[in-house]
């Protein structure tokens, strides 16, 4: 890492788009480049520990994303590269998290990665069977089915996981990190 501060890579996208997979591969790629102290905050893991008990209402989702953002802010402030993978469906809240992180780490310390995958492909993948449950009414307020997902207007990186390999996607992220001087 070339700077004194850390940075946050924020993966956003529909459920099943590939956020967790790419976060893990990005973590590996950074470690292979000597960036050792990288933290990964996966939305599912955070929900079982930091946000246990929250549901999926807009208020609960916002609380969950603010908590992840606050942890990213702290880690970034203390020089720790951080990777967050969370659906984070609402633009305004992602903007709030960006501002929070950049106040701690400086301009450009928040890199938004839009994991763009068509809804049909996410449903086809459906690794946890959640789309099926949402379509049958078992899950309420499910992003992409009964709740909105607002794609970012100007993310630093756009990945198309339906037509590029995970390795291609990670290369795009690494290129942007180099461009910003973070690695």
Q: Nearest-CA neighbor of 151 among 108, 119, 109, 107? A: 119
* pTM of structure: 0.93
Of the listed 20, 51, 88, 109, which one is catalytic? 88
- The per-residue pLDDT string of the chain (183 residues; one tens digit each, 9 = 90 and over) reads 444 569 999 999 999 999 999 999 999 999 999 888 999 999 878 877 776 667 777 888 899 999 999 999 999 999 999 999 999 999 999 999 999 999 998 888 999 999 999 999 999 998 889 999 999 999 888 999 989 999 999 999 999 999 999 999 999 999 999 999 888
The domains located in the chain, with CATH, are 8-118+152-179 (3.40.50.300)
165 noted as active-site residue: no
């Amino acid at each position: 890492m070339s700077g004194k501060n850390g940075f946050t890579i924020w993966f956003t996208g529909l459920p099943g788009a590939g956020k967790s997979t790419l976060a893990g591969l990005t973590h590996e790629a950074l470690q292979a480049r000597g960036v050792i102290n990288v933290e990964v905050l996966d939305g599912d893991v955070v929900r079982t520990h930091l946000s246990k008990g929250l549901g999926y209402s807009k208020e609960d989702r916002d609380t969950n994303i603010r908590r992840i953002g606050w942890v990213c802010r702290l880690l970034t402030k203390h020089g720790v590269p951080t990777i967050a993978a969370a659906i984070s469906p609402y633009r305004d809240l992602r903007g709030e998290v960006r501002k929070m992180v950049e106040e701690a780490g400086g301009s450009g310390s928040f890199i938004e990665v839009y994991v763009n995958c068509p809804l049909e492909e996410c449903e086809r993948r459906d690794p946890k069977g959640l789309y099926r449950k949402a379509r049958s009414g078992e899950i309420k307020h499910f992003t992409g089915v009964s709740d909105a997902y607002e794609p970012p207007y100007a993310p630093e990186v756009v990945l198309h996981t339906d037509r590029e390999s995970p390795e291609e996607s990670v290369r795009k992220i690494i290129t942007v990190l180099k461009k910003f001087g973070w690695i």
